[in-house]
Amino acid sequence: MSFGFFSSFRNKNKKSEENEVLSKNNIKVGLKAVDKYEAIKMAGRLLAESGYVDENYIDAMIQREDDLSTYMGNGVAIPHGVGRAKEFIKKSGLVVLQFPEGIDFGGENAYLVIGIAGVGDEHLNILSNIATIIGEDENTVSILRDTEDVDYIYKTFTEF
């Protein structure tokens, strides 16, 4: 099964076959546990450094977490901005942070923190695709949580 949404964002102008929504540079593995707000800020900073969002988006991600937890189940949290945050999004993108020891998200451990930003309603497609990936097979999430193989994570989210 291929998720056309992610694969449709290939940059045709680069020789690299990297996906525009997710770059291998935006996958960080083996990170030391921090509190959930620091993990969200880490994801937001990476989104900003990669040109997906303005720095102001980070505050919107924190606000979203304060309003309603972004923990999605199966060891995955998907922090993102809401409402007015759309004005801070430059282009759709996501980052994947792996915390093998887990991050406490209100009594639930998140091992993957996937920061997202979607132009217009694209965030809904991104959320839906991630939910499908993490919901289909607990074994896949278990591997994603422990692997040091950035290529495996990249392929899971772009060629699954």
Please report, for the chain, the start and end positions of each structural domain, with discontinuous segments joined by +.
Answer: 24-158
The rounded distance, in Å, linking the Cα atoms of 62 and 102 is 19
Active site residue 123: no
Fold of 24-158: Mannitol-specific EII; Chain A (3.40.930)
Mean pLDDT of the chain: 86
**CA-only gyration radius of the chain, Å:** 14
Q: What's the rounded mean pLDDT across residues 49-64?
A: 96
Pairing of strands 71-73, 76-77: antiparallel
3-state secondary structure at position 61? helix
Task: Flag the least confident range among 5-14, 118-127, 148-157.
Answer: 5-14
pTM confidence score: 0.87
CB within 8 Å of 105: residues ≥ 6 apart: 36, 69, 70, 71, 77
Catalytic annotation, pick one of 36, 64, 80, 145:
80
Mean pLDDT over residues 116-129, rounded? 85
pLDDT above 60 (res 12): no
